[in-house]
């Protein structure tokens, strides 16, 4: 075991020795092991790289292998020998050019293998000694398929297929196809189309759809072609797509009326009508067509409108069909036409016209043009009964019809005379005739309506139409009788009427009766309104009418009277009864007079106590009459009005033969002086139409008031102490103004207002005397303007009546209110001075408040005034008027400062407050503002710094100025120039720093990277910023530019450094490999030792 361990140690030592003796060789390898290309890729570049021992020139030879054939599938561009220059670490390339053979090759892809030839002077990197280029075939071929389609199919479809390798079919290929005329031409046979198609990895077949025109014309089969092309070099268009044939197979057949295949004219009694139908085109089918006809119309058509199937047999080009004609015995329009035409969905109807066929009627039929009842009135219009007979059918020949009058039980031949029966002959081509059947006889008899019939019937070959062969005639009698009846009535019950009654033909006759009036003991116009001749008109069905005569109610007591009325007419249909001659109208008198008895008084005193009214009556005294005696109140509806007479009405009843009645009206005496003279009215009214007021129906009575009463005209008054110097009060007297003198005493009494502070000396026991005719007197009280903000104040004036006069309770006092509309105006800062900061303060809110009489509008003017601060530069000027609305207690206004970011001393300006309103007392006349400059400035010590790379760190200094008693928060960042972060310096990104209160200087640092490379001087920038809006950076955001000076000119170049680094990495890998092998040997030794021990133990 000791020998084994010793041998292992010797092996390791020997292995290290061999490694030390191995010289270093360059290692060359492809940068990738394969690449995938297609035939259309063109140039292919393959890269090789060299590592280890790159400080010497290295030459490498390459070999070509693979299934692809050189010069057929690809070309070598340049040499297959690659040279790496000394100290050049960049890769080297060789180039191949892929040839596109444009052949569709279905199978595996071809390969080009480029291999590094073995060479003792170089090492080949395992797995990277070969590079395979896979060439995929991307060519495809396009084939088109001929097609046939029936003309009626509507669309022809040409199938276009793509074929190629699996790899090619995954690509997208585009082609274009268009149609081309042959025996079929566009657009009459098909629609020209030019389509683009794109084949993707999802489809191998495209279909081109072409619209086929179905011209429904029998013709030979026709062709057109489809041609395809492409601009894609990977696509091969086969010959089948040069002219793909589309065949249009004809499938049309024409059907039509055969020439001369039907008669143009037929008689109604022919029985039938034959038609021949022909066809051309495809005859090997048995289609069905419909032979259609219209009816000829009329009242009795012989042709029925319908369509019937007619079938062609195979290879037959002609078929015969029949149409049934119905023969009747009814005359219709002599010459009529019907139409024949063809319809089919199986064939094309080449003859789409509707052809007329004439049919002649051989019958004669007569009928009445109207069969409605004829109404004829006796004595009105023509007495002839006329009607019209019409015939249809064969009117081109003469024909006759018989007419007969048929009387029933109501009408007799004596009522309408005429020949019956009689023959009516129509000449050839005569279709209408109007005849007189009979003549009506006016018999002047009052009778009921009567009827008879007029009837026609056929003779020889003619006939009559059912339902139109007879007509009823109704005879209407229009005779009437008129009777009259007079009347008796009282004078007031007019008008008088004469009643006229009518009997007979009232339903068909409207009559006019004339009536006239003749005086008797009654005369017109005193007793009635005369009418010389008045027409009374009876409407249809009206049996009774009244002839009115207006009576004159003269309200005069007189005897009974009468007059007469006579009625007659010139209408021959009316028989007037003798009762209508001299009709007597009797008028009975019914008048009575009621009036105020003479000697009544129209003036009284208020203290009279009562007033008596007397009424008298004359005329008809045997009846009882009632009238109403009324009086109005003497009220004048003034504020102080105490009526002495109350309004009311009383019924006054005159008993039989009573001629005088009295009514006592009470009059109230009060102590109040009112309107001196007032009136009330006395009047009589009645609803009794028999009573006439033949004299005055009303009169006025005047009441004189003998009292005196005093009153303030205003019970309250309001004065404003700022502009009202005094208050005027009016005392008014009412009552006996024109007949006596009267006095009253006036006093003032304080309430919240006191004298002499609020009003002048008081009025005490002032006696005012009103003389005869004097109504009002005035007194004045002076008001004191004390210029104080205070509440409203009041004092009172009062009246005391003397010597029998009185005062009204509701106006014997008057209250005077003294209104103070003063206000005090305050500023929020009553000290008159404010200190504000230029930058951090923002707008300064000024508030103005008022107290006092807030119910009024008040105005103030505010205006800024420059001090050391100037408007526009340090603050925004203000000059405006502010208005307080009613009950508004405060107003605000912003004073705006200008932040100029300039280092400067404190400055001042002021705001003045004034008012032109006398009611406004300014408590704060103004405010002075001191603007404290609170700007802070930070500047960089240098704009540029140069530092050697070996210094490791660069330092820069910031200086702060201005307001230093607060902290300032800043940040700084670095920005690349020609120097790059992480390679040349350690980057900083918005690193926060804080100036403490009273701190002036701050130092920033950036670490540099000593990269040991020989390089030019490089630069980067340091940028600073701030989060404080009141801090200003005087140098802007870019603080300083730092230049890094390279201070190691003798160091190796970058390429040399990379080569050294690769060599060290290789040596490290060798050491790792040896250490691994040593570890394996040690493990083997331990296993052998354990096996040996175990084996010894078993023995």
**Percentage of the residues of the chain whose pLDDT score is greater than 70:** 95
Answer whether residue 14 shows pLDDT above 60: no
Residue 627 in domain: yes
CB-hemisphere CA count at 13 Å for 795?
Answer: 24
User: For the chain, how many residues are written?
Assistant: 1099
**511-519 sheet: strands from edge to edge:** 487-490, 583-588, 561-568, 511-519, 534-538
| Range with lowest mean pLDDT among 27-31, 103-107, 640-644, 1025-1029 | 103-107
pTM: 0.36
Q: CA nearest 901: which of 1016, 1020, 1036, 1023? A: 1036
Summarised one tens digit per residue, pLDDT across range 697-725 is 999 999 999 899 999 999 999 998 777 88
If asked whether residues 39 and 130 sit together in one domain, one would say yes
The CA distance from 351 to 344, in Å, is: 11
| 11: its two tokens | 């092996």
Summarised one tens digit per residue, pLDDT across range 972-987 is 999 888 888 888 889 9
The domain boundary, picked from 95, 115, 134, lies at 134
- Name the band, by pLDDT with cuts 50, 70 and 90, for residue 210: very high
- Name the band, by pLDDT with cuts 50, 70 and 90, for residue 19: very low
Q: Which residues contact 725 (CB under 8 A, 6 or more apart)?
A: 782, 783
pLDDT score recorded for residue 1: 46
Q: Which residues contact 1016 (CB under 8 A, 6 or more apart)?
A: 978, 1046
If asked whether residues 570 and 615 sit together in one domain, one would say no
Please state, as a whole number, how many other Cβ atoms lie within 10 Å of the Cβ of residue 725: 11
Residue 868 in domain: yes
If asked whether residues 854 and 921 sit together in one domain, one would say yes
pLDDT score recorded for residue 9: 52
Residue 1037 contacts residue 1024 (beta carbons within 8 Å): yes
Q: CA nearest 729: which of 811, 658, 650? A: 811
Residue 172 contacts residue 114 (beta carbons within 8 Å): no
pLDDT score recorded for residue 1056: 58
The domain boundary, picked from 316, 337, 360, lies at 360
- Name the band, by pLDDT with cuts 50, 70 and 90, for residue 1055: low
Residue 966 in domain: yes
Q: Which sign, positive or negative, has the C-alpha torsion 801, 803, 804, 805? A: negative
CB-hemisphere CA count at 13 Å for 366?
Answer: 27
Q: What is the mean pLDDT of residues 852-863?
A: 88
pLDDT score recorded for residue 6: 46
Residue 1083, SS3 per DSSP: helix
- Name the band, by pLDDT with cuts 50, 70 and 90, for residue 844: confident
If asked whether residues 809 and 843 sit together in one domain, one would say no
Residue 13 in domain: no
Q: Which residues form the domain of 627?
A: 592-704
Residue 114 in domain: yes
Q: Per-residue DSSP letters for 439-487? A: EE---------EEEEEEEEE-TT-EE-TT-SEEEEEEE---EEEEEE-E
The CA distance from 890 to 185, in Å, is: 97
Residue 396 in domain: yes
The CA distance from 705 to 675, in Å, is: 7
Q: Across 90-104, 326-340, 640-654, 1036-1050, which has the greatest mean pLDDT?
A: 640-654
If asked whether residues 191 and 240 sit together in one domain, one would say yes
The CA distance from 411 to 378, in Å, is: 13
Answer whether residue 228 shows pLDDT above 90: yes
The CA distance from 818 to 753, in Å, is: 8
CA distances in angstroms from 626 to 562, 598, 620, 671, 697, listed in the order given: 29, 20, 13, 38, 15
If asked whether residues 44 and 85 sit together in one domain, one would say yes
Residue 888 in domain: yes
Q: Per-residue DSSP letters for 866-916? A: ESSS-BTTTB---EEEEEEPTT--EEEEEE-B---------EEEEEEEE--
CA distances in angstroms from 716 to 734, 812, 820, listed in the order given: 20, 11, 17
If asked whether residues 60 and 96 sit together in one domain, one would say yes
If asked whether residues 203 and 261 sit together in one domain, one would say no
| 729: its two tokens | 């009060």
Q: CA nearest 378: which of 501, 472, 474, 470? A: 474
Residue 1076 in domain: no
The CA distance from 553 to 592, in Å, is: 12
CA dihedral 640→645→648→653, nearest 10 degrees, is 180
The CATH number covering residue 272 comes to 2.60.40.2030
If asked whether residues 46 and 87 sit together in one domain, one would say yes
Q: What is the mean pLDDT of residues 688-699?
A: 84
| Range with lowest mean pLDDT among 276-280, 1005-1009, 1060-1064 | 1060-1064
Q: What is the mean pLDDT of residues 685-695?
A: 83
Q: What is the bridge-based pairing of β-strands 374-377 and 470-476?
A: parallel
| 777: its two tokens | 């007197």
Q: Which residues contact 756 (CB under 8 A, 6 or more apart)?
A: 784
Summarised one tens digit per residue, pLDDT across range 232-260 is 888 889 888 988 999 988 877 888 889 88
Domains identified in the chain, total number: 9
The CA distance from 420 to 467, in Å, is: 21
Q: What is the mean pLDDT of residues 43-59?
A: 87
The domain boundary, picked from 81, 115, 134, lies at 134
If asked whether residues 128 and 147 sit together in one domain, one would say no
Answer whether residue 1053 shows pLDDT above 60: no
The CA distance from 1024 to 963, in Å, is: 19
Summarised one tens digit per residue, pLDDT across range 542-597 is 989 998 999 888 777 778 889 999 999 888 888 888 889 989 999 887 788 899 99
Peptide bond into 187 cis (omega under 30): yes
If asked whether residues 330 and 288 sit together in one domain, one would say yes
If asked whether residues 277 and 351 sit together in one domain, one would say yes
pLDDT score recorded for residue 8: 52
């Amino acid at each position: 075991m000791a020998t084994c361990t010793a041998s292992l140690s010797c092996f390791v030592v020997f292995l290290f020795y061999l490694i030390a003796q191995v010289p270093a060789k360059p290692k060359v390898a492809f940068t990738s092991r394969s690449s995938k290309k297609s035939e259309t890729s063109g140039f292919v570049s393959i890269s090789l790289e060299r590592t280890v021992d790159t400080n010497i020139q290295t030459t490498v030879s390459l070999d070509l292998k693979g299934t692809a054939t050189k010069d057929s599938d690809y070309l070598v561009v340049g040499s297959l020998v690659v040279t790496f220059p000394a100290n050049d670490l960049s890769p080297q390339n060789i180039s191949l050019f892929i040839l596109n053979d444009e052949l569709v090759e279905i199978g595996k892809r071809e390969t080009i293998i480029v291999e590094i030839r073995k060479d003792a002077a170089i090492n080949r990197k395992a797995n990277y000694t070969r590079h395979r280029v896979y060439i995929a075939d991307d060519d495809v071929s396009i084939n088109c398929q001929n097609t046939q389609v029936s003309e009626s199919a509507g669309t022809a479809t040409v199938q276009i297929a793509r074929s190629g390798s699996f790899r090619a079919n995954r690509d997208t290929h585009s082609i274009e196809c268009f149609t081309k005329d042959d025996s079929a031409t566009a657009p009459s046979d098909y629609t020209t189309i030019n389509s683009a198609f794109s084949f993707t990895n999802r489809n191998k077949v495209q279909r081109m759809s072409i619209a086929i025109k179905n011209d429904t014309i029998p013709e030979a089969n026709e062709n057109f072609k489809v041609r395809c092309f492409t601009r894609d070099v990977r696509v091969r268009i086969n010959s089948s797509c040069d002219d793909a044939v589309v065949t249009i197979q004809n499938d049309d057949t024409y059907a039509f009326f055969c020439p001369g295949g039907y008669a143009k004219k037929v008689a109604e009694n022919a029985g039938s009508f034959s038609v021949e139908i022909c066809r051309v085109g495809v005859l090997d089918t048995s289609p069905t067509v419909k032979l259609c006809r219209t009816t000829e119309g009329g009242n009795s058509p012989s042709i029925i409108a319908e369509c019937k199937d007619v079938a062609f047999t195979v290879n037959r080009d002609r078929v015969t069909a029949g149409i049934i004609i119905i023969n009747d015995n009814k005359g219709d329009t002599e010459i009529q036409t019907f139409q024949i035409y063809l319809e089919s969905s199986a064939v094309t109807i080449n003859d789409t016209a509707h052809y007329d066929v004439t049919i002649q009627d051989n019958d004669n039929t007569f009928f009445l043009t109207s069969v409605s009842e004829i109404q004829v009135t006796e004595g009105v219009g023509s007495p002839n009964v006329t009607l019209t007979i019409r015939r249809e059918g064969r009117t081109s020949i003469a024909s006759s019809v018989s007419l007969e009058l048929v009387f029933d039980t109501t009408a007799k031949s004596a009522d309408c005379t005429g020949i019956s029966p009689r023959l009516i002959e129509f000449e050839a081509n005569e279709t209408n005739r109007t005849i007189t059947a009979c003549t009506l006889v006016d018999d002047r008899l009052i009778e009921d309506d009567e009827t008879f019939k007029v009837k026609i019937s056929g003779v020889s070959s003619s006939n009559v139409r059912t339902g139109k062969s007879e007509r009823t005639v109704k005879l209407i009698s229009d005779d009437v009788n008129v009777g009259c009846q007079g009347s008796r009535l009282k004078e007031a019950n007019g008008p008088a009427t004469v009643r006229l009654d009518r009997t007979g033909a009232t339903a068909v006759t409207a009559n006019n009766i004339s009536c006239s009036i003749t005086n008797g003991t009654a005369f017109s116009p005193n007793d009635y309104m005369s009418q010389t001749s008045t027409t009374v008109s009876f409407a249809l069905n009206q049996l009774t009418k009244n002839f009115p005569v207006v009576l004159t109610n003269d309200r005069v007591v007189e005897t009974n009277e009468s007059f007469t009325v006579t009625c007659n007419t010139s209408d021959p249909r009316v028989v007037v009864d003798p009762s209508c001659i001299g009709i007597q109208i009797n008028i009975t008198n019914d008048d009575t007079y009621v009036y105020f008895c003479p000697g009544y008084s129209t003036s009284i005193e208020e203290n009279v106590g009562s007033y008596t009214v007397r009424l008298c009556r004359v005329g008809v005294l045997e009846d009882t009459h009632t009238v109403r005696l009324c009086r109005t109140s003497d009220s004048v509806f003034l504020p102080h009005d105490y009526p002495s007479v109350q309004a009311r009405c009383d019924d006054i009843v005159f008993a039989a033969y009573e001629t005088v009645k009295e009514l006592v009206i009470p009059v109230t005496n009060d102590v109040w002086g009112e309107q001196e003279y007032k009136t009330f009215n006395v009047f009589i009214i009645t609803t009794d139409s028999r009573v006439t007021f033949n004299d005055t129906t009303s009169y006025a009575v005047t009441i004189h008031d003998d009292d005196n009463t005093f009153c303030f005209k205003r019970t309250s008054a309001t004065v404003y102490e700022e502009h009202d110097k005094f208050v005027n009060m009016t005392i008014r007297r009412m009552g006996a103004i024109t007949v006596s003198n009267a006095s009253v005493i006036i006093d003032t009494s304080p309430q919240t207002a006191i004298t002499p502070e609020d009003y002048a000396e008081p009025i005490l026991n002032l006696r005012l005397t009103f003389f005869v005719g004097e109504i009002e007197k005035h007194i004045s009280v002076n008001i004191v303007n004390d210029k104080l903000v205070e509440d409203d104040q009041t004092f009172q004036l009062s009246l005391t009546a003397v010597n029998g006069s009185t005062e009204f309770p509701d106006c014997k006092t008057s209250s005077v209110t003294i209104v103070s509309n003063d206000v005090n105006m305050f500023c929020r800062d009553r000290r008159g001075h404010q200190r504000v900061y230029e930058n951090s303060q923002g707008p300064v809110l000024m508030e103005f408040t008022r107290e006092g009489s807030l119910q009024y509008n008040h105005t103030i003017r505010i205006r800024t005034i420059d001090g050391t601060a100037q408007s526009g530069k340090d603050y925004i000027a203000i000059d405006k008027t502010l208005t307080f609305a009613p009950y508004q207690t405060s107003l605000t206004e912003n004073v705006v400062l200008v932040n100029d970011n300039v280092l400067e001393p404190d400055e001042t300006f002021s705001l003045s407050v004034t008012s032109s309103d006398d009611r406004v007392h300014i408590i704060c006349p103004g405010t002075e503002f001191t603007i404290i400059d609170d700007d802070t400035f930070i500047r960089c010590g240098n704009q540029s710094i140069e530092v050697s790379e070996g210094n490791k760190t660069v330092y820069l200094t910031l200086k702060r100025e201005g307001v230093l008693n607060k902290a300032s928060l800043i940040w700084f960042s670095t920005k690349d120039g020609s120097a790059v972060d992480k390679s040349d310096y350690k980057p900083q990104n918005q690193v926060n720093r804080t100036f403490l209160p009273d701190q002036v200087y701050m130092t920033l640092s950036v670490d540099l990277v000593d990269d040991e490379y020989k390089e030019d001087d490089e630069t980067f920038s340091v940028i600073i910023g701030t989060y404080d809006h009141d801090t200003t950076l005087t140098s802007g955001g870019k603080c300083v530019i730092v230049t890094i000076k390279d201070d190691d000119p003798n160091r190796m170049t970058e390429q040399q450094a990379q080569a050294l680094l690769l060599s060290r990495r290789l040596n490290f890998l060798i050491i790792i490999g040896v250490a691994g092998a040593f570890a394996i040997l040690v493990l083997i030794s331990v296993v052998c030792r354990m096996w040996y021990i175990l084996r010894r133990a078993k023995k």
